[in-house]
Amino acid sequence: MGKIISADNLKFLPDVPFLKLKYRVAMKKKLNLKNPVTYNEKLQWLKLHDRKPIYTEMVDKYEAKRYVAERIGEEYIIKTLGVWDHFDDIDFDKLPDRFVLKCTHDSGGLVIVKDKNNLDKAAAKEKIEKCLKRNFYYAGREWPYKNVKPRVLAEEYMEDSKTEELRDYKFFAFNGKVKALFIASERQKENEETKFDFFDAEYNHLPVRNGHPNAEVPPEKPENFEKMKKLAEKLSEGIPHLRVDFYEVDGKIYFGELTFSHWSGMVPFEPEEWDKTFGDWIELPKH
């Protein structure tokens, strides 16, 4: 069998041919960069043409906390328990029984610890160290990640007592205006796939699937929905498109992360017309 083609194997390719190739494989159609129309096409265009230095700070899971606190307030920031360059630098004796480890520079480098005494440190180290060696930029050419310093971040463990999980409220904002959101639920259920449910800005459930199935029962409206929406709009002012993620824990809002390219713009919408609908909301910079 031939060697599997992966993003790591294609580091030598410049951004444009790489994105055209990956888009063709993922979306089963050609990428139109000269006149992008759909949401996923426009995300590829923005990767190439909207590259502000501040974006690197905004996607760094450690540095973003300061960025967000300066704009909406420290009260929305999840407590940092420590940040290190290497897994072996972590002093586990100083960490509480429950905490979360994540990498500052990627997506996926996550270890949720509900009981420190039962933590498989060898498995956690293997996962974290593997992520630390990876430059997430090469996976989808999302420029903001290119120069993020790889580190390990420990945060306070969060769980909402009402839902008994940590639901993720992800707001799609366009130049300071929220148009839609989706809720990621059932993420920590064993033998259960994560659920994504999309809503419009008035919290009407949308018939959209994107990457994961809908929940059997759509999640109820969060208590702080309007407040989260306003905060997302404040954080996205002056930016063509930004996904702003929040959590709601026991009636309190916490910041999650900022994302410029949802799914890296490489996952189809079902039905397909929603790709065009979301695309209409992105006004590309004239320059």
What is the DSSP code (8-state) at residue 249? E
Sequence-separated (6 or more) residues with CB below 8 Å from residue 258: 58, 59, 64, 68, 235, 242, 243, 244, 245
- Domain hosting 276: range is 160-287
Is there a cis peptide before residue 271, judged by omega within 30 degrees of 0? Answer: yes
**Residue 67 placed within a domain:** yes
Question: Which of residues 158, 190, 207 is at a domain's end?
Answer: 158
Q: Residue 131 corresponds to which tokens in the numbers above?
A: 């992520």
Number of structural domains in the chain: 2
Task: List, for residues 43-78, the tens digit of each pLDDT value.
Answer: 999 999 999 999 999 999 999 999 999 999 999 999
| Distance from C-alpha of 201 to C-alpha of 104, rounded to nearest angstrom | 30
What is the sign, positive or negative, of the torsion defined by CA atoms of 177, 257, 200, 29?
Answer: positive
For residue 200, CA distances in Å to 96, 174, 225, 276 come to: 39, 13, 12, 15
In a structure prediction context, what are the per-residue pLDDT tens digits for the chain, which is 287 residues long?
344 456 778 999 999 999 999 999 999 999 999 999 999 999 999 999 999 999 999 999 999 999 999 999 999 999 999 999 999 999 999 999 999 999 999 987 899 999 999 999 999 999 999 999 999 999 999 999 999 999 999 999 999 999 888 999 999 999 999 999 999 999 877 778 999 999 999 999 999 999 999 999 999 999 999 999 999 999 999 999 999 999 999 999 999 999 999 999 999 999 999 999 999 999 999 86
Q: Residue 34 corresponds to which tokens in the numbers above?
A: 């000269």
* Nearest CA among 279, 60, 59 for reference residue 172: 279
Say whether both 136 and 104 belong to one domain.
Answer: yes
Task: List, for residues 178-227, the tens digit of each pLDDT value.
Answer: 999 999 999 877 778 999 999 999 999 999 999 999 999 999 999 999 99
**Residue 74 placed within a domain:** yes
**Residue 35 placed within a domain:** no
| Distance from C-alpha of 286 to C-alpha of 104, rounded to nearest angstrom | 32
Coil, helix or strand at residue 84: strand
Say whether both 269 and 190 belong to one domain.
Answer: yes
Say whether both 183 and 154 belong to one domain.
Answer: no
- Judge whether 19 and 141 are in contact, CB under 8 Å: yes
What pLDDT sits at residue 231? Answer: 98
Say whether both 176 and 135 belong to one domain.
Answer: no
Q: What are the two backbone dihedrals, phi and then psi, of residue 120, each rounded to the nearest 5 degrees?
A: -85, 90
Q: Where are the alpha helices (DSSP H) in 28-62?
A: 39-49, 54-59
Q: Residue 67 corresponds to which tokens in the numbers above?
A: 């960025």
- Judge whether 219 and 197 are in contact, CB under 8 Å: yes
| Distance from C-alpha of 196 to C-alpha of 204, rounded to nearest angstrom | 14
What pLDDT sits at residue 4? Answer: 46
Strand pairing class (99-103; 80-84): unpaired
